[in-house]
Amino acid sequence: MADGRSSASVVAVDPEKAARERDEAARALLRDSPLQTHLQYMTNGLELTVPFTLKVVAEAVAFSRAKEVADEVLRSAWHLADTVLNNFNPNSEISMIGRLPVGQKHTMSATLKSVITCCQHVFNSSRGVFDPATGPIIEALRAKVAEKASVSDEQMEKLFRVCNFPSSFSVDLEMGTIARKHEDARFDLGGVSKGYIVDYVVERLNAAGIVDVYFEWGGDCRASGTNARRTPWMVGIIRPPSMEQLRNPPKDPSYIRVLPLNDEALCTSGDYENLTEGSNKKLYTSIFDWKKKDLLEPVESELAQVSIKCYSAMYADALATASLIKRDIKKVRQMLEEWRHVRNRVTNYVTYTRQGERVARMFEIATDNAEIRKKRIAGSLPARVIVVGGGLAGLSAAIEATACGAQVILLEKEPRVGGNSAKATSGINGWGTRAQAEQDVYDSGKYFERDTHKSGLGGSTDPGLVRTLSVKSGDAISWLSSLGVPLTVLSQLGGHSRKRTHRAPDKADGTPVPIGFTIMQTLEQHVRTKLADRVTIMENTTVTSLLSKSRVRHDGAKQVRVYGVEVLQDEGVASRILADAVILATGG
């Protein structure tokens, strides 16, 4: 079940209908929410004519405080949206900038500076395709196609010439100032402002100690932590209306994909939003296409919708708009490739083309996404798996095996699990991680692999193993973080050309946190509490041999199948344990 949905910008034109829908959603929530120690507070409504939904999950003892903080953060967010970013408020900061005398500098507020910084970054990355200074062009073109105003070709050519970001505004991000370059210069920040508010709400709630949050405003959404079911927040991407449905879109559209949000945002841009019908009966969006020098039109054979999953809702919204304007999946992939290892990282995208209903997404090498994994194990019977060794590799294998439906027996010869992993102190190396992105550390597989090969004594490294270590390193750190290991501190140790060694932050009194012990303690607690019915841990149990059967194949090769182990327990009792598979995790 999806916790929310992402679509192109949503505006309520019927407040009474919107109120009824909110009431139905609230009643459905009450029906679906089971009794549990974690409670969910949900509030929704309209703000600046745009519907919003906020969900906050907290333990019962902290629920009242979470509700109070959530309401206060929302009040603060709406105040910012209205007084700084609202083009329809003549007294807002963005409106005031549109009336500045040409050349007069204005010192931007922190909020506006963040939004303008995002606009400039995406403008540069998209080669000018995304341009927040085209508002006057869009206004003139919409009036022209609807025949509400007479706009000459000379007037349009003038707007084309001057109404672009670099020709309209002088921006000094270092000094935090902005100035207009001509009388027609003004911003239309639209969805980027919406994305900023979404980021603001989630980040302020997280800073207040409220981790489990989902917030959506007009199709832009962001989530952190988990939902009331203690699973990742899930957001459905709606199927765009067909060309025949554009004038009367379905009231209950289906999903083309459902994505989990792991402290991420998801924003969507589509060619079916805010449409204007021209006198020629054609439909036009409110998005300007510099290539055609015209408003974007809904089409059958090019991209109709783009959804971007990113660390930031503001950047996701801007990049989704830029991608839609490009309309070519190859150009979109090329642009988004630059955003895979930066502070506001793109972690996935989904594009939709009506013709043949083509759906494309980001492809990651050496990854097994949830959809493929589910299909892969769907036809398998539940297995019994033995894991030999209770270190980091062993506990990781046990957790992953249970995720595939297996019952696991974990065998450890020592009195307690942990092994040498618990003694590790340096940290875990990985590239392409959230910690690197947030600290602006540029790293990649080629640097990681080069450093690893150089550190090998006499060139003794195995290229295949080094590549596996490299491409899986970021996933490993992300996986540990999802279990609650705080790998947020970066260090650059000997032999590394980048800061890529991940550690836990020091305690409040400055005492270093032993990272190996912390990891093992976290994983052991996860197994003993959340997987107690799926994993049996047998300590003081030594594996003395593997049980196997062999046969000679028709080509003469000998095939060996391991079906269990012989063990010797602490009291000297020998026994056999049978299984469908045995995983050896004994060599550290």
Give the helix, strand, coil percentages of the chain, each rounded to 5. Answer: 35, 25, 40
Whether 539 is covered by a domain: the verdict is yes
- What's the whole-number average pLDDT of the chain? 89
Whether 165 is covered by a domain: the verdict is no
Whether 78 is covered by a domain: the verdict is yes
DSSP letter string, 445-499: HHHHHHHHHHHSGGG---HHHHHHHHHHHHHHHHHHHHTT----EEE--TT-SS-
Choosing from 460, 488, 513, the residue where a domain stops is 513
Integer Cα distance of 214 and 202 in angstroms: 7
The residues pairing with 171 across neighbouring beta strands, listed in sequence order, are 178
Whether 129 is covered by a domain: the verdict is no
User: Does 566 lie in the same domain as 445?
Assistant: no
User: Does 449 lie in the same domain as 500?
Assistant: yes
pLDDT at 19 over 90: no
User: Does 197 lie in the same domain as 234?
Assistant: yes
User: Does 529 lie in the same domain as 508?
Assistant: no
Whether 333 is covered by a domain: the verdict is yes
Domain that holds residue 476: 426-513
User: Does 348 lie in the same domain as 254?
Assistant: yes
Helix (H) or strand (E) holding 409: strand 407-411
Give the total number of structural domains in the chain: 3
Per residue in 281-338, pLDDT (tens digit) is: 889 999 999 888 999 999 999 999 999 999 999 999 999 999 999 999 999 999 998 8
User: Does 463 lie in the same domain as 451?
Assistant: yes
User: Does 196 lie in the same domain as 76?
Assistant: yes
User: What CATH number is given to the structural domain containing 200?
Assistant: 3.10.520.10
Integer Cα distance of 425 and 502 in angstroms: 11
User: Does 558 lie in the same domain as 477?
Assistant: no
Per residue in 531-582, pLDDT (tens digit) is: 999 999 999 999 999 999 999 988 989 999 999 999 998 778 899 999 999 9
Whether 410 is covered by a domain: the verdict is yes
Length of the chain: 588
Question: Residue 153 — left, alpha, or beta (φ > 0 → left; ψ -120 to 50 → alpha)?
Answer: alpha
User: What CATH number is given to the structural domain containing 561?
Assistant: 3.50.50.60
So what's the pLDDT on residue 31? 47
Query: What SS3 class is residue 27?
Result: helix
483, exposed or middle or buried, with CB in 10 Å at 0-12, 13-18, 19+? Answer: middle
In this structure, how many other beta carbons lie within 10 angstroms of the beta carbon of residue 537? 22
So what's the pLDDT on residue 32? 46
Integer Cα distance of 579 and 559 in angstroms: 18
User: Distance between alpha carbon 359 and the CA centroid of its chain, in Å?
Assistant: 18
pTM over 0.75: yes
So what's the pLDDT on residue 297? 92
Q: What is the mean pLDDT of residues 256-280?
A: 90
Planar angle of CA 321, 322, 327, nearest 5 degrees: 95
So what's the pLDDT on residue 380? 73
Question: Residue 190 — left, alpha, or beta (φ > 0 → left; ψ -120 to 50 → alpha)?
Answer: left
Query: What SS3 class is residue 310?
Result: strand
Choosing from 482, 513, 544, the residue where a domain stops is 513
User: Does 493 lie in the same domain as 350?
Assistant: no
Whether 303 is covered by a domain: the verdict is no
Sheet of 255-261, strands arranged across: 4-6, 233-238, 255-261
Helix (H) or strand (E) holding 384: strand 384-388
Per residue in 335-380, pLDDT (tens digit) is: 998 898 888 999 999 999 999 889 888 876 556 666 667 777 777 7
Side-chain half-sphere exposure of 73, counting CA atoms within 13 A:
26
Choosing from 472, 494, 513, the residue where a domain stops is 513
User: Does 408 lie in the same domain as 450?
Assistant: no
So what's the pLDDT on residue 524? 95
In this structure, how many other beta carbons lie within 10 angstroms of the beta carbon of residue 557? 8
User: Does 252 lie in the same domain as 348?
Assistant: yes
Helix (H) or strand (E) holding 541: strand 541-552
Tokens representing 142 are 């919409």
Cβ-contact 66, 39 below 8 angstroms: no
User: Does 524 lie in the same domain as 506?
Assistant: no
Planar angle of CA 60, 61, 67, nearest 5 degrees: 75
Residues 6+ apart with CB under 8 A from 330: none
So what's the pLDDT on residue 100? 95
Please tell me which of 14-18, 441-445, 525-529 the model is most confident about, judged by mean pLDDT.
525-529
Helix (H) or strand (E) holding 308: strand 303-310
Amino acid at 354: R
Whether 468 is covered by a domain: the verdict is yes
Tokens representing 501 are 């060694």
Q: What percent of the chain has pLDDT over 90?
A: 63
Of residues 69, 305, 9, 303, the one with CA closest to residue 206: 69
Integer Cα distance of 19 and 465 in angstroms: 57
